Amino acid sequence: MPSRPRVCYGVALSGSAAVTVRAWRSSGGTVRQAVLTKGETAARRSAGGLAESARSGDVTVGCLAVQESLTLWLNSPLVSRAKAEKVLPSLLDIQLPFPVEDCMYRFVEFRRTPEGTISALVCAARREAIQACLERYQAQGTDPMLLDHEGLALWTQSLVERPPAESRRGPAPYRVLICLADDHATLVIGCGERYGNAHSLQMPSSPMSNDDLVNRLQLILHADLPAGVGVQWLFCGARAGEAAVVDALYRSLTSVWPGTLTLIEKPASFLARALCVRALKRGPLRCNLRQQTFTHPAVRRAADGRARAAAVGILIAGILLAGFSLTSRLLGERRFNRIKSEIAAVAGELAPGVTIPYGREIPEVQKAWEKQVSQTAPFIDAFAPSLAVRLAEVIKAGQASDVRFETLSLRRNSLILTGVTEDWDQCGQLEQRLKALGYTVKLERQEAVAETEVRFTVNAEGGGP
Amino acid sequence: MKPKALFILQACALAVFLAGVLASIATIRQNLDLRGKIRNKMETLAQLVAMKQTRDRHQAALRVFEGLSNTSPVSLASLGHATVTNALPEIRERESRNLTVGWTLRQMEVVFSEVNLSQIPGFLQAVEMQRPPWRLVECTLASSRQADGLGRAVLILEAAGKTGRQTTEGGRRTTDNKTH
């Protein structure tokens, strides 16, 4: 069974008859439904029934009748939900008239009370009742994979098909759903969207006995509803189409609890639709009482398959992690070794015949290179810019500045000039021109005393070709 | 699948996954360490490659010199005669030292006394155009007080060549002998 099936068959038993609805989830998530005719149901049974469905990934859902099970709100004194979940089975055991070990139960909703403690809704049924229910389904030629609860299914589907009107003032309105099947009536009581309780009554065999049904209904409702409160009355089930029955019940009940009457459309298939919608879509109060020893083989196989797939996934992830780690480590070491061998090769080429200890490549190669460089430097120097060019540039700068050099001493990266000029500012022009050549210039000028000319000395550094 | 087989599969999967996680952690730690080592080695390699490029440039320059048809520098005296008029240079060898594979570096001092200083650039251009070339290392010019344009020029030039000259120990020798 897939974790989220796309096609579902909801089968609701009503007396000796079964109502089957086929529902499927479209790509947009919308659930579409169709009631199977008797012929279609028979054809499905003959085609393999559930076994066929299980193979195809479809799901068949049944439900346990309210009369065979119970729903109960348990109030724990604990604030922590985790702790409450541990003590709730013991509280359930106290409430049950039979040992909790003899029944299957599911906690379907947790709420926090105004006092802050945890309140839980539990759905429980005796193992014998579940076994009997499954046998009834098998007698109808079907074996449901999931076993839902009738009361919960009716309640949630009523919220889906008839959402409660939003009440901004006062408390949420009460809602009572009465499902009139051929052989029994199911009463589901809630307030707003909160499920309250569900009850089951035998349907009278003759219409003349409706008063007895009304009396029993009122008896139950007096226990759950305050007198005089407004109630939204909903009717569904195979006999909801009998107007006389519905009218009689509605008139009698509204005399105590006034309220509107709502007849569910297609009331006969309401429960089957509810089962389908709950199986196909996520939502509140979801319940499957077919657990542990009652688990359907297809469900167990699917769970095993998921567990196996998860284990294989983890195994593959582990293998990939280990593989990537090993590969990464090998690639890193390979790269490191390649760089080391490149270093050794280059160092060996630069310092042939020298034994180079590991990690001492640079000092040893530098030592060897310093020996070689003095023998080859003059060859590379021959291609450096000529000092004669710089001499020509300095002479040109002097001519442009209209100064006369007396001595000129030029070396690579240094220049010393002495000379005379007619004007104090012409030395400044020379200084600027030498700076433009890249020199750092130190200019000294001597005031003309006996002569008319200004003597100057230039010490310049840098700027060498 | 039987529950026992599924349990074994899950246990194996968990063990392999944990082994993978542990291997990944160990690898990450080792790679962090290795990354530092690789970075250091890359820096070392980059320095060595830079030195090799310098060495290659030197070798290329040497190959150019080796490819010259004439490996002896031209006589400075004859060049002086040819390019500078009315002045005979005093030429003396300052220094010579052995270079690689039979080459010798000679440094010469050329002194022109009372020369027309405007002819010095022409002389320098002529010596630097030779193969193998002479290179100006240092130059000192002093103008004469007696006449404009005249002066004394002291030029230090050097050239590499295969002259077959013998040098003293250490590859260095200084002589004061005039060569013209």
Residue A164 preceded by cis peptide, ω within 30: no
Indicate yes or no: CB of B9 within 8 angstroms of CB of A340.
Answer: no
Q: Do B112 and B40 share a structural domain? A: no
* Chain A touched by B68 (CB under 8 Å): no
Separation of alpha carbons B88 and B79, rounded Å: 11
CATH of the domain at B142: 3.30.70
pLDDT score at B158: 94
Q: What is the pLDDT of residues A313-366, one digit of tens each?
A: 999 999 999 999 999 999 999 999 999 999 999 999 999 888 888 888 999 999
Residue type, A121: L
Tell whether B59 and B11 lie within a shared domain.
Answer: yes
Please indicate, yes or no, whether residues A270 and A157 belong to a single structural domain of this protein: yes
Q: Is residue A19 part of a domain?
A: yes
| pLDDT score for B169 | 35
> Residue B18: what pLDDT?
95
More confident residue, A53 or A187: A187
Query: Has residue A192 been placed in a domain?
Result: no
Q: Is residue B148 situated within a structural domain?
A: yes
Indicate the DSSP class of residue B101: T
Confidence of residue B49 (pLDDT cuts 50, 70, 90): very high
pLDDT for position B16: 95
Closest in B17, B34, B61 to A332, CB measured: B34
Residue A145 gets the label, from left (phi > 0), alpha (psi -120 to 50) or beta, of alpha
Question: Which of B47, B67, B87 marks a domain boundary?
Answer: B67
- Asked if residues B107 and B93 have their Cβ atoms less than 8 Å apart, the reply is yes
| Structure confidence by residue, pLDDT tens digits, B19-41 | 999 999 999 999 999 999 999 99
Provide ipTM, 2 decimals: 0.76
Is residue A405 located within the same domain as residue A454? yes
What letter would DSSP give residue B180? -
CA dist., res. B154 & res. B123, Å (int): 12
CB contact under 8 A, B62 and A407: no
**pLDDT mean across residues, chain A:** 88
Minimum distance, in Å, between the CA of residue B139 and any CA atom of chain A? 5
Residues A406 and A454 occupy one common structural domain: yes
A54 has pLDDT over 90: no
Q: Which residues of A touch B139 (CB under 8 A)?
A: 387, 391, 408-411
Three-class HEC string of chain A = CCCCCCEEEEEEEECCEEEEEEEEECCCCCEEEEECCHHHHHHHHHCCHHHHHHHHCCEEEEEECHHHEEEEEEECCCCCHHHHHHHHHHHHHHHCCCCHHHEEEEEEEEEECCCCCEEEEEEEEEHHHHHHHHHHHHHCCCCCCEEEEHHHHHHHHHHHHCCCCCCCCCCCCEEEEEEECCCEEEEEEEECCEEEEEEEEECCCCHHHHHHHHHHHHHHHHHHCCCCCCEEEEEECCCCCCHHHHHHHHHHHHCCCCCCEEECCCHHHHHHHHHHHHHHCCCCCCCCCCCHHHCCHHHHHHHHHHHHHHHHHHHHHHHHHHHHHHHHHHHHHHHHHHHHHHHHHHHHHHCCCCCCCCCCHHHHHHHHHHHHHHHHHHHHHCCCCCHHHHHHHHHHHHHHCCCEEEEEEEECCEEEEEEEECCHHHHHHHHHHHHHCCCEEEEEEECCCCCCCEEEEEEEECCCC
Assess whether pLDDT exceeds 90 at residue A244. Answer: no
**Model pLDDT for residues A178-209, shown as the tens digit of each residue:** 999 888 899 999 998 999 999 999 877 665 56
- Of the three residues A336, A352, A381, the one that is the final residue of a domain is A381
pLDDT tens, position by position, A287-302: 999 999 999 998 888 8
What is the count of structural domains for chain B? 2
Interface probe for B, chosen from A336, A379, A387 (most Cβ of B below 10 Å), is A379
Is a pLDDT exceeding 50 seen at residue A253? Answer: yes
pLDDT value at residue B168: 36
- Chain segment A265-275, per-residue pLDDT in tens: 999 999 999 99
Distance CA A293, CA A127 (A): 10
**Residue A57 confidence (pLDDT) above 80:** no
Calculate what percentage of chain A has a pLDDT beyond 90. 56
Range of the domain at B20: 1-67
pLDDT tops 60 at residue A461 = yes
Put simply, the chain B residues between 142 and 161 with a CB less than 8 A from any chain A CB are: 142-143, 158, 160
Q: What is the pLDDT of residue B170?
A: 38
| Local confidence band at B1 (pLDDT 50, 70, 90 cut-offs) | low
Query: Which of A141-145, A423-427, B102-106, B128-132 is least confident?
Result: A423-427
Is residue B177 scored above 60 in pLDDT? no
> Distance between alpha carbon A444 and the CA centroid of its chain, in Å?
81
Mean pLDDT of A109-136: 94
* Pairwise CB contact (< 8 Å): B99 & A375: yes
Q: Are B88 and B164 part of one and the same domain?
A: yes
In total, how many domains does chain A have? 3
| Res A465: pLDDT | 55
Based on the fold, state whether residues A54 and A157 are members of the same structural domain: yes
Range of the domain at A146: 1-71+125-162+265-295
Compare A128 and A36 and report the one with higher pLDDT: A128
**Of the residues B67, B92, B123, which one is the last residue of a structural domain?**
B67
The pLDDT value recorded for residue A209 is 64
> Under an 8 A CB cutoff, do A343 and B27 touch?
no
**Amino acid letter for position A366:** Q
- Assigned domain for A29 exists: yes
Which of B32, B58, B109 should we substitute to test contact with A (largest number of A Cβ atoms within 10 Å)?
A: B58
Across the range B132-159, mean pLDDT stands at 91
Q: What is the pLDDT of residues A418-450, one digit of tens each?
A: 998 888 888 889 999 999 999 999 999 887 666
